[in-house]
Copies of this chain bind each other. A is one copy, B any other.
Amino acid sequence: MKIDYKKELETASKGMIMIHEPKLLIKLIVRMIVRKLHIRHAGMILYEQEKDSYVLNISRGELGVKIPAGFTRFNSESPVIRIFTRKEFRSLTFNRNAIVAEDINRLIWREGVIRNGNGKLTQQLLSSVHEQMQMLNTVACVPAYYHHKLMAVLLLGEKRDASRFDQEELDFFSALASDAAMAIRNAQLFESLKREAERNRALFLQTIEVLGSTIEAKDAYTHGHTDRVTEYSVMIARHMAETGAAQFPENFFENIYIAGLLHDIGKIAIPEAILNKQGKLTEDEYAVMKQHTMRGSEILKPLSLPKEALEGIHHHHEHFDGNGYPDGLKDGQIPMAAAIMAVADAFDAMTSDRPYREGLSKEAAIAEIKHCAGAQFHPLAAKALVELYESGKI
């Protein structure tokens, strides 16, 4: 059966660049070569810019004829690389677009005859390439260039019918290797950019966590409070979404996580004498304490945080009946993130010990939350917390 190489190349190249996972892409390309083009096994040595070296990325084929070892690295002095990168050797591959094992002995002989003994270096290189190819179970090496830079070497095993590679086939593999090398490079760049975006996101979230924890270095009584409120808030939100009590946009959970971590950040601006006072605050002291929601918003102003997170921080002391602070909002006016955090915050405050009073049991605190649902607390958020408690999750 004659293979229509032009058609196979079009099919193979089509859409290669839309695959942005290098490993998957290489797998698909090598599988295509093995299955559709009837080659026993194939692999690809790929240039890695970050390390300025070449790596054998994958090699697959029929059982028992696998090219050995996965992640062999080739530096630029390796014979199988040098033969394609040094100008003085270009003529060796000029005609065929490849180095084919069966040609090598003839090439070595020709070097000897033509150059009359001056071709020693070339002969040595060709011998080393031959050895490497045998080690790699490879009968043809096809280079792929981009802007005169060697991007990849496609390694081909024997054809299944054991026939020789003809020139049409080598030209096809040359075009394929070149398309593939670019697609793989593209995917690698994609992946590294994606990793960078994720790393930066992780750094951002870590910094938010540290920022949230700074208040614990100052406020002796809040040990673990920030983390618990964050955890409860996210659990309440997830429960509301799961039970259909509310629908939230995709980022809501990350935003309430951020808001939870930062909800008391404004306390950094409250004097320690008030923050750590043992016993009930005077009216004046309480007025200062209440400023922490505003001060939090001020501290976070330079940060382009999502609106939902900022609202959660600013309004986490509003009451459902309008008797909260800082703005005295009521029911529908209170952003849902803030309403959820208010319940989580109150529950943790009630159940935590203070030097001047012991914490309530969870049971008692839940009874209090139930009692105040619809007055201090948003009924749906309070209901979610109660259900989480009753199912043993909190």
The answer to whether B193 and A197 have CB atoms under 8 Å apart is yes
> How does the 8 Å CB contact mask read for A202-216 relative to B, with 1 for contact and 0 for none?
111011111101100
Is A333 positioned at the interface, with any CB of B under 8 Å from its CB? no
Choose, from A181-189, A315-323, A352-360, the stretch at the interface: A181-189
Residues of B near A23 (CB, < 8 A) are none
The A interface is mostly helix, strand or loop, or mixed, namely helix
> How does the 8 Å CB contact mask read for A7-33 relative to B, with 1 for contact and 0 for none?
000000011011010000000000000
| Bound: A374/B328 CA distance, A | 60
Tell which of B182, B183, B196, B268 touches A214, judged by Cβ atoms closer than 8 Å.
Answer: B268
Is A253 positioned at the interface, with any CB of B under 8 Å from its CB? no
Stoichiometry (number of copies): 2
The answer to whether B272 and A17 have CB atoms under 8 Å apart is no
How many chain A residues have a CB neighbour from B under 8 Å? Answer: 45
The answer to whether A209 and B302 have CB atoms under 8 Å apart is yes
Tell which of B18, B203, B271 touches A272, judged by Cβ atoms closer than 8 Å.
Answer: B271
| Bound: A213/B298 CA distance, A | 11
The answer to whether A303 and B210 have CB atoms under 8 Å apart is yes
Is A277 positioned at the interface, with any CB of B under 8 Å from its CB? no
Quote the shortest CB–CB distance from A115 to chain B (angstroms). Answer: 35
The answer to whether A213 and B18 have CB atoms under 8 Å apart is no
Is A92 positioned at the interface, with any CB of B under 8 Å from its CB? no
The answer to whether B269 and A182 have CB atoms under 8 Å apart is no
Quote the shortest CB–CB distance from A201 to chain B (angstroms). Answer: 5
The answer to whether A272 and B272 have CB atoms under 8 Å apart is yes
Is A72 positioned at the interface, with any CB of B under 8 Å from its CB? no
The answer to whether A146 and B217 have CB atoms under 8 Å apart is no
Is A128 positioned at the interface, with any CB of B under 8 Å from its CB? no
Residues of B near A209 (CB, < 8 A) are 302
For the complex with contacts A14-B178, A214-B214, 17 further pairs of A-B residues with Cβ separation under 8 Å are A15-B182, A18-B146, A189-B190, A190-B190, A193-B194, A197-B200, A203-B304, A204-B204, A206-B304, A207-B303, A210-B303, A214-B268, A217-B268, A218-B268, A271-B272, A272-B272, A272-B273
A residues bordering B, Cβ < 8 Å? 14-15, 17-18, 20, 146-147, 178, 182-183, 185-186, 189-190, 193-194, 196-197, 200-204, 206-211, 213-214, 217-218, 265, 268-269, 271-273, 295, 299-300, 302-304
Could you give 6 example pairs across A and B, Cβ below 8 Å?
Answer: A17-B17, A18-B146, A18-B185, A20-B189, A210-B211, A213-B299
